[in-house]
Structure 1
């Protein structure tokens, strides 16, 4: 199994617009709750990610931004590439 980067997990979380516990994230990623807890810890502690944290007990985390972006970069590319070139060149 390929190990996901913290950034990839954060993008997935931001795209889904949902709160996650270690257990729910583990189920989504098909990894152990312990591994998912590590992802959540890294996301919560990094200044790169903007999150909403419900706190303890039963901490849940929602990613609302990555490096100041509130939309997943892949979605921006998808939107840009679906536009006619004449519209894109005016941006």
Structure 2
């Protein structure tokens, strides 16, 4: 709505304030939605919503892999020590 009616106002902020009161949200909330829409459509620089989702997925996967590597490292050390303890002593 902001993009459609922006021409009727002297600034985008005035359009945001007017439309926000009509749809029942704060002007700041609507402003953020407008900025997000601008980024997603390529009108404004930034990370798109799809990219944000992908980054979060990659960060989660990275944490899981680090956790798994730590478990494997500890298990490897444990079994290496068990093998040393098992060898006959001369």
TM-score of the two chains, using structure 2 as the length reference: 0.31
Structure with higher RCO (Cα < 8 A, 6+ apart): 1
Higher helix share goes to which structure?
A: 2
